[in-house]
Amino acid sequence: MARRRTERPAKKFGTPLYCAVWPKGDYAFVAGGGGKSSSGIANKIVTVHREDGQISGAAAGSVTVQDAPMRMALQPQETTLAVALGDGGILKFSVARDKDDVPVLQQLQGKAEEVFAKIGVVECMAFSSDGRILGVSTADGSLTIYDWQTGRALNMLSAEHGLNSTIRDLSFSPAHMDKVLAAVADNGTCSLWAWEKRLQITLLDLPKELKGGAFSKARWSQDGTATLYTVVNLKAREEGHLLLYKQDEEGELQLQRQSLLCRKMVSAFDLSHSGQMCGAGTMDGDAAIFSLPSGKRLKQSPDAHMVFVTAVAFSNGEDSLLSASADASAWLTGMPAQRGAQVSSVTTVMLLLLVIMLCAVAAAFWTGADAQILAALQRIGVKPAAHTEL
């Protein structure tokens, strides 16, 4: 039986999209391109606008760059944006707001920017929770931690330290003051590192029912708890699973929960800011929002894209998930109306009416307007005080 396709078409931007970030507000950035100029496809960062629950298109034009943007990372303070290009190098942009609150990008120039521009081909990158450092994995198999302000390399992990495969995804742990990071490698493993000491803390084990699977994504919760969410793709069954690890009192990271996210391979993943939801995109072009820690699906956009999803990003209000795809499209998956919120609103109205009624009764006592009620109270020995007696 064929799946029901998403009804409205995704918004197209004329270039393959590889990355997406969403600052506060209704504007987000998507980026991609054709690479070499001979491709005839523009390399650009596009500002898109959410309007009436949909992506309305380019809001403030686009920024053209010399090569295809393959990765983006927004500093947590949202003042700067890191953009990694396909042929190597990271560009640094300031993020300001115009009079209509549209985010505006301006490429920065300086000594630190020269350092980042000379970095090799970037496989993944991530900011620490305080935005002071940027972790960068490159195609040569190394993982370097940079001071984002100065461009100084604070440390580097490589094969001689036990890093035996290129890192494809990484995440810093706020619960450990960003001194611990999770790294997902090209060989399907996930390891934890004390990067200042160049020390591998542990290599995560897969549960027996997922043997043969491969870790593909890892995200530390941003709520200050030592909670790590990972995605494991099981190619043999074409499934994407969510695994939740928590640090116990002895300091060990233990598997607490696992759930089947979708019967598709997961190609993109993100945590909401509160850590109460996660978003995923699949190799078949689906996008979906899930509740955490249960992994229960809250909303799905089947076939939102024609090909695999390259990136997903939550809105700051956590009511929408932006997805981007190599088919040049961007899509918005909105959260369904919350039944609990509707009940809560009705309850609030009922309580308000009750308060109004009680105030009316109180007013009757206060003014002596309801003689029958007063008389009834007096018969059982209760004499309400007159206004002058208070």
188: in domain: yes
Predicted pLDDT of residue 362: 37
Flag whether pLDDT at 230 surpasses 50: yes
- Single out the residue in 188, 203, 218 at which a domain terminates: 203
Residue 375 in this model has a pLDDT that exceeds 60: no
Question: Is the residue at 150 inside a domain?
Answer: yes
**Domains contained in the chain, number:** 2
Cβ pair 59, 48 in contact under 8 A = yes
Query: Above 90 in pLDDT, residue 178?
Result: yes
Report whether 218 contacts 190 (CB < 8 A): yes
3-state secondary structure 4-72: CCCCCCCEECCCCEEEEECCCCCEEEEEECCCCHHHCCCCEEEEEEEECCEEEEEEEEEEECCCCEEEE
- CB 191, CB 161: distance < 8 Å: no
DSSP 238: T
Task: Establish if 380 belongs to a structural domain.
Answer: yes
pLDDT at 364 over 50: no
Structure tokens at 361: 């009764």
Q: What is residue 373's predicted lDDT score, i.e. its pLDDT? A: 39
> Is 222 within a domain?
no
Last residue of a domain, one of 169, 203, 237: 203
Distance CA 46, CA 30 (A): 5
Looking at the chain, the whole-number percentage of residues with pLDDT higher than 70 is 83
Q: Round to whole Å and give the CA distance between 365 and 275.
A: 51
Has residue 339 got a pLDDT over 70? no
Q: Is the dihedral of CA 97, 101, 105, 106 positive or negative?
A: negative
CATH of the domain at 182: 2.40.10
Domain assignment of residue 287, yes or no: no
pLDDT tens, 279-308? Answer: 999 999 999 999 999 999 999 999 999 999
Whether 115 is in a domain gets the answer: no
Is 361 a domain residue?
A: yes
pLDDT score for 56: 81
pLDDT digits (tens, 9 = 90+) for 53-97: 888 866 567 899 999 999 999 999 999 999 999 999 999 999 999
Residue 18 located in a structural domain:
no
| Residues of the domain holding 199 | 121-203
Out of 187, 203, 219, pick the residue that ends a domain. 203
